[in-house]
Structure 1
Amino acid sequence: MIAIPYLTALTTYFSYGLLFVFGQVRDFFRKIIDWWSASNLQALFCCKNQGYAPICLGLEDFYIRRLYLRIQLYEMDAAGPAIKHEFHGDCFNRPIASAPDAWFDVVERYSNDYNKTLKLTKKTSRCLNLGSYNYLGFAASDEYCTPRAIETLKKYSPSTCSSRVDGGTTDLHNELEECVANFVGKPAAIVFGMGYVTNSAILPVLMGKGGLIVSDSLNHNSIVNGARGSGARVCVFQHNTPAHLEEVLREKIAEGQPRTRRPWKKIIVIVEGIYSMEGELCKLPEIIAICKKYKAYTYLDEAHSIGAVGKTGRGVCELLGVNTADVDIMMGTFTKSFGSCGGYISGSKELIQYLKYTCPAHLYATSISPPAAQQIICAIKVLLGEDGSNRGAQKLARIRENSNFFRSELQKMGFEVLGDNDSPVMPIMLYNPAKIPAFSRECLKQNVAVVTVAFPATPLLLARARICISASHTREDLIKALEVIGRVGDLVGIKYFPAEPKKAQAEEERLLKLD
């Protein structure tokens, strides 16, 4: 649990309350004006033709207009004799014009209609990338992966233009599934063209009416939607709290199914290896022990952990010393550490064969792009040293060193940083809505691109900047980022803890140099 300072919580609530009140007042007067204007009557009912229900619900539209759009507003310039105001959108949905490497080109934008629409300029800014999931640096050009992906593009084209069961299975897809299964340590695997769909399409196939899904309270939206669509009973346990998981399992098993009180047909517990908004490692050994005790299946989502942690990049099981045979279903994506797209499910041969017969994402969706499949295969070979070099081991060592160095330095400066050591995801808590655009904007001014996250992706009080570290970052890159974030943190006022004494910091730097 995050201990929010009382003053910070109070000012955050006050800020959201102020935004809500003033927004409602403005909407009220806008409706009065529209009511008197017959030409604007259609706009009053939010539809093109009278008689239709609003296609956008009022509260959703209110959030977009009064908070989301306004939070992007940057500087305002006078242009021409008509004093035409231009607003520069800088906070969300920033387009880029290069590969998402350690440094990338951010395209500048502007708006002259209060951010209802954003227009691109021809200007770009070269920025240090602290937002992409390029954990191992494979998203940029690679000496081993890129030439082979290009050759595959020439041979197979960008798409198979077919589902796996029709004409969409190539020899690369079979090789990729075998490669993934061997890498994660399971008998078999199945791959999909989209990581999000891997969860949302698989869970309705595995679970149904009469089943019970027990999900971590902070699981990803793809898991939430997949669980809802399954028809199974869904309950949550407190984030990363094995003791509460056991309480929930004991209670639900004792109660049985609603109304009939019959035993559950199937129980599955779903957790993530690294939680993407918290940067925390799953307490996997304890959770597996509880699942075994109550005969529940374990479903592990390793979207952010596979390739990024563990001595050879095999994820949290390797990092925490868990036998993969104890995890019934292992899910992961290729969009982070492998610099590609798609996702996978690995498990027993019987499970994978069943999914190939029944999963709609396999039966009806276009198969993963052949060049993307080749990129994944090559990335795994680099990690295993099968490319004839030790670059994979170097990348894994660098991402671990970079992550732990950056996290410790942020904490020394007084930032409230979530997550565990070895995790490349490190959220910096912002809390107040006014500090979301301020932090993002000031970092961008100094050529550091960060991602800020707020409600509804996080709870109302827990807005944050999510830093993602890459093996492609040099120590000089990280030091520059720390200098910029340190200055911006002072300016915005988000250093919620006293900084450690400089003497201790200097001593640790000396020891790092000796190492």
Structure 2
Amino acid sequence: MALQSPSPHASIFGKKKKSSSPMPTAASYLSAVSEADARARAHGSTPNSTPALSLSSSVTSSSDETVLDEFGVDTNDVLSYPSTPPTSEQVFTTIHSEFGHCANESYRYTSQHRAGTPYKSYPEQDPPYYILLTTYLSYLMVICLGHIRDFFGRRFRAQNYKHLISQNGYAALNSDFDSFYTRRLKTRIDDCFSHPVTGVPGRTIVLLDRYSPDYNVTMVPTGTRTRGLNISSYNYLGFAQAKGPCADAVESSINRYGVSSCGSRLEGGTLDLHQQAEALVARFVGMEDSLISSMGFATNSTIIPALVSKGCLVISDEFNHASIRFGVRLSGANVRMFKHNDMASLESLLREVISQGQPKTHRPWKKILVIVEGLYSMEGTLANLPVIMELKKKYKFYLFVDEAHSIGALGPHGRGVADYFGLNPRSIDILMGTFTKSFGAAGGYITGSKALIDRIRVHGHSGCYAEAMSPPVLTQVIASMASIMGISPASEKASSSVLSLSKGEPSVTEMEKFPGTAPMTVLPSWMPVAPSMADGSDGYVRLRRLAFNTRYLNRGLRKLGFITYGCDDSPVVPLLLFNPGKMAVFSRLMRTRQIPIVVVVVAYPATPLVTSRVRFCLSAAHTKDDVDLVLTACDEIGDLLDLKQGSGDRWPLKEIIDRAVELVNMPELA
């Protein structure tokens, strides 16, 4: 079976070529685009969707394919235009390699839970017993052969084991047992991890090629580059761009403030941008107040100790992120875990801990805090928030929702898991999220009531020890959120309430029904505002494109026969590989196709031992053709590696591609 799909067209994905011709002038460049546009019109076609991965056009002659090349433009890294240049009816403000051009309104969907129906993820399927047996045997072989090699290696190649052997009175630098997994499994597939990249991690990504002369112990760069389709970044809404309204706003911020946190400041050592960003974040998620932090991991690990302490109880989902676990340990509170997303397990645990009280003394708990994630990035599942809210009313606990992956990526308005389920966000006590995924920035936030946020400002560690967010990052947060919300002129009364957020007066979120638009007064006066940002059309298109892509890939993989986890609307799609040896093969086969596809493979200890997987991270930047390409590659590689172990009705690949819109809009996957 051929693993590389042939293409009659020249691909924009390939090794970087050096151009001997000088860079064209702007006038000649635009003239070339105009000529190509005119020739495309002569064929009477105005495409709704631009083909994903080819510079040559199916509607232009071969002589037209070199219109942009004749000026010496390196199309791999400079232009990366779609097959047919956009016509005057299609005005794109993005580079095709960063954000795919797609004007076909059929390839849109709204991410929203159907009211009145219980939430449930697609049922997890177990593979045949021979898959599980061979997976366990493969780990057993690695362990046995690894220990045999260590036994003889210590005696005959002691130089290679210096870091594991006590010498000169010093203990071994590394533990033999602790480093066994890294040395005997991870190193063998290390070429699949930590691949150096350059440029914007948008729809495509540029890999810096490398090879290893010593079985992945060291990596040597070759000096060449490869552009591949990027299905590996948390760029959910496609805001990781070097061109567009957000990039223009960030450029203006750099011109005004520079790249550091120094600049014009208000009283208390706080930039005006910090206050504006916190006011906008609170309004975006529908809370009274917010506090931003320069690091997402630190948001959890430094804020949780300010919420709970000794004598309190934290009830945590067993799959919660490491930052949550670390924060709970720092707090000194007791912790109990319940089975992942199992509401019966959660209620049973609540009954037990409330009736028994604190250990030994059996006194009532000072506080019970339940912590869940909105979207679990390893599983693709959503927190069953409607049921959790019913339990909250019944058992009177506090609820903390980590929306690192769900904020911006779920819901008809992009406001996260509460928006997805149609719940009032203020019925949740604490909403946490990060800016590193959907917003293309850095850092995190915590939102809640004003009294709660005021306490966290005083008692949270991040305010004392963490550095402030820099102006360009803050501007990216503000611009991307404004693109999703849309911008409306604000009255003088609303203006005063926004800026007096820290003085205890009502915020704008109390004056307008959630979800609302971003008042102009919240935004920096110097920030350029594009029309697509002002009317919210930019964010609206991104949300609906992401929803279509995620639902299409999720359902397409299941119809091909793969076992996947999670919700249909999750932008993270885990495809189960099971056998650890298949991780490296799958990753390498995807990366070395004629059109490279960059993916992330994950295994133990990040997942249970036998559930190694590949995680596809979808983006609004991807086009339907990009998802077709991923499905085609998975179909071919899945047959080769015997990965199609799922049950249920199967469709051939061509039928899935042809009936994509119908597949996405099915209420339930048959």
TM-score scaled to structure 1, two decimals? Answer: 0.91
Larger Rg over CA atoms:
2
SS in 2 for 1:191: strand
1:134-170 CA deviation, whole Å, 9 max, x = no partner?
01000112421101101212322222279x9997621
Stretch of structure 1 that moved more, 138-147 or 242-251: 138-147
Distance 1:134 1:514 in 2: 24
| 1:432-447 correspondence to structure 2 within 5 Å | 432-446=579-593, 447=596
Please say if 1:10 is aligned against 2:133: yes
Which residue of the partner structure matches residue 134 of structure 1? 235
1:388 shift after superposition: 2.4
Which residue of the partner structure matches residue 179 of structure 2? 61
Distance 1:302 1:173, change over 3 A: same
Letter in 2 for 1:131: S
Letter in 2 for 1:508: R
Which residue of the partner structure matches residue 638 of structure 2? 489
TM-score scaled to structure 2, two decimals? Answer: 0.70
CA-atom RMSD in angstroms: 2.3
Distance 1:360 1:172 in 2: 21
1:45-76 CA deviation, whole Å, 9 max, x = no partner?
546x632333322222111111110123xxxx
Which residue of the partner structure matches residue 171 of structure 1? 272
List 4+ stretches of structure 1 deviating above 3 A.
44-47, 164-168, 501-515
Which has the larger share of strand? Answer: 1
Stretch of structure 1 that moved more, 17-26 or 241-250: 241-250
Distance 1:505 1:487 in 2: 14
C-alpha contact (below 8 Å) 1:165/1:363 kept by paired residues: no
Distance 2:132 2:160 in 1: 41
1:237 shift after superposition: 0.4
Which residue of the partner structure matches residue 28 of structure 1? 151
Distance 1:399 1:31, change over 3 A: same
1:489 shift after superposition: 1.4
| 1:74-473 correspondence to structure 2 within 5 Å | 89=191, 91-160=192-261, 169-386=270-487, 387-389=533-535, 390-446=537-593, 447-473=596-622
1:510 shift after superposition: 7.5
SS in 1 for 2:179: helix
1:248 shift after superposition: 0.5
Distance 1:143 1:128 in 2: 20
Distance 1:505 1:45 in 2: 53
1:506 shift after superposition: 7.5
Distance 1:510 1:185 in 2: 33
Which residue of the partner structure matches residue 85 of structure 1? none
1:111 shift after superposition: 2.0
Distance 1:18 1:153 in 2: 55
1:330-359 CA deviation, whole Å, 9 max, x = no partner?
000000100000000000111111111111
1:464-512 CA deviation, whole Å, 9 max, x = no partner?
0000110010111111121112111112221112661449747834847
C-alpha contact (below 8 Å) 1:165/1:362 kept by paired residues: no
Stretch of structure 1 that moved more, 307-316 or 382-391: 382-391
Distance 2:164 2:625 in 1: 55
1:232-270 CA deviation, whole Å, 9 max, x = no partner?
111100111111101101101111111111111111000
Distance 2:562 2:280 in 1: 41
Distance 1:413 1:401 in 2: 18
Distance 2:421 2:303 in 1: 26
Distance 1:455 1:120 in 2: 28
SS in 2 for 1:464: strand
Distance 1:340 1:507, change over 3 A: closer
1:231 shift after superposition: 0.9
Distance 2:482 2:216 in 1: 45
Distance 1:343 1:168, change over 3 A: farther
Distance 1:442 1:485 in 2: 10
SS in 1 for 2:198: coil
1:215 shift after superposition: 0.3
C-alpha contact (below 8 Å) 2:552/2:664 kept by paired residues: no
Letter in 1 for 2:334: R
Unpaired stretches in structure 1, ≥5 consecutive residues: 73-88
Letter in 2 for 1:22: L
Distance 1:54 1:288, change over 3 A: farther
Letter in 1 for 2:286: G
Distance 1:115 1:336, change over 3 A: same
Identical-pair percentage = 43
C-alpha contact (below 8 Å) 1:160/1:167 kept by paired residues: no
Which residue of the partner structure matches residue 162 of structure 2? 43
C-alpha contact (below 8 Å) 1:42/1:50 kept by paired residues: no
Distance 1:362 1:442, change over 3 A: same
Letter in 2 for 1:482: L
Distance 1:458 1:167, change over 3 A: farther
